[in-house]
Structure 1
Amino acid sequence: MDGAPRRVLALIAAACVAMLAFGMYLQHVVGLEPCPMCVVQRYALIAVAVFTGLASLRAGRGWWMGFGGLALLSAGFGAFVAARQSWLQWYPPEVATCGRDFYGMIENYPISRAIPMIFRGSGDCSAVDWRFLGGSIANWSFLWFVAFSLVLLVLIVRGARRRGR
């Protein structure tokens, strides 16, 4: 693998780390508490950062394409969760009640019940507490996850084409 894809993968990992740091700033300095869907998006962002970081470190084509594929799946999952949260923000449920936090759901319910509860959302997930250029945190997360997915898809397709030659 030449240096350009490795640099792109490292740049994606660095962007994910910067986004996670900004999320921590919003939580601990500004005082915004993340909803369950925000926490799931953070985990997806961590997965993208770890997989792209590992892909940028491994020179073997099989390694970087494997880690790149896992990063692509993680980014796609993050985009799905962010899109669902954006939809809840645009069309909030009629009864907006604050549900349990993410960890409370995982600790008190079996995983088969907790996961649907997370994606169903709550009053917390439909609240828009912060905006930048008209977009909520979920809107911006969706755009970043889609951008990461597209870049990763291009890298993987190019890598597969080179492999076939």
Structure 2
Amino acid sequence: MLLSTRSVALAGIAFCGLMMAVALALQYLAGLAPCPLCVFQRVGVIATAAVLLVAAVHNPSGRWGKAFYGVLSLVTVAGGAFVAGRHIWLQSLPADKVPSCGPDLSYMMDMLPLQDVVNRVLSGSGECAEIDFMLLGLSLPAWTLVGFLILALAPLRLLWLSFAPSRG
């Protein structure tokens, strides 16, 4: 069965909603405050949802439109997965190799240019290396990476639809 661009995009948006619902529940119900890398992972989820929303509204039928939204949403998923991978790496460092804690994200956003904020956040800090929660032996960033890998199925499907032979 050949799915439409809209149905694939809507499925991806639903999964983004699920990822954000879990993140917000852990923050507001379980009291786990997000570190700067967690916030950047949320940006990756939201950016992917935004691209998929535009794809669902536009619902391109041509190969180039499907390929465009597939590539663009795959880039946002890859960005989020990269940040999650960086977070996992930071958590795997020995305690003496973990960077010291710096200023919080809101302070950096107020005081520094955006490029400096991104560089500082991606270099990590002590708060990002803490493991506050484990489920089935995986930390939250590891679960987020799993979520991004599942979410990548939507852009990959859009790309597959763009290259699949037309039926008709």
Q: Calculate the TM-score normalised by the size of structure 1.
A: 0.86
What does 1:132-147 correspond to in 2, within 5 Å? 132-147=135-150
What is the deviation of 1:93?
5.3
Kindly, what percent of the aligned residue pairs are identical? 33
- Partner SS, residue 142 of structure 2: helix
Structure that is richer in helix per residue: 1
- The answer on 1:20 being equivalent to 2:20 is yes
1:107 corresponds in structure 2 to 110
CA RMSD across the alignment = 2.1
Letter in 2 for 1:38: C
Letter in 1 for 2:47: A
The count of corresponding residues between Structure 1 and Structure 2 is 162
Q: Which runs of 5+ in 1 are unaligned?
A: none
Q: Deviation per CA, 1:42-61, whole angstroms, max 9, x where unpaired?
A: 01100111211221232223
- Partner SS, residue 162 of structure 1: coil
Q: Please, which moves more after superposition, 7-16 or 31-40?
A: 7-16
Alpha-carbon distance between aligned partners in 1 of 2:9 and 2:150, rounded to the nearest angstrom: 13
Contact 2:66 2:158 in 1 (8 A): no
Q: Calculate the TM-score normalised by the size of structure 2.
A: 0.85
2:51 corresponds in structure 1 to 51
Higher relative contact order (CA 8 A, sep 6+): 2
Alpha-carbon distance between aligned partners in 2 of 1:54 and 1:40, rounded to the nearest angstrom: 21
Q: Report the CA distance shift for 1:92/1:36 in structure 2 as closer, same or farther (over 3 A).
A: farther
The list of structure 1 runs, each at least 4 consecutive aligned residues, that deviate by more than 6 angstroms after superposition, is: none
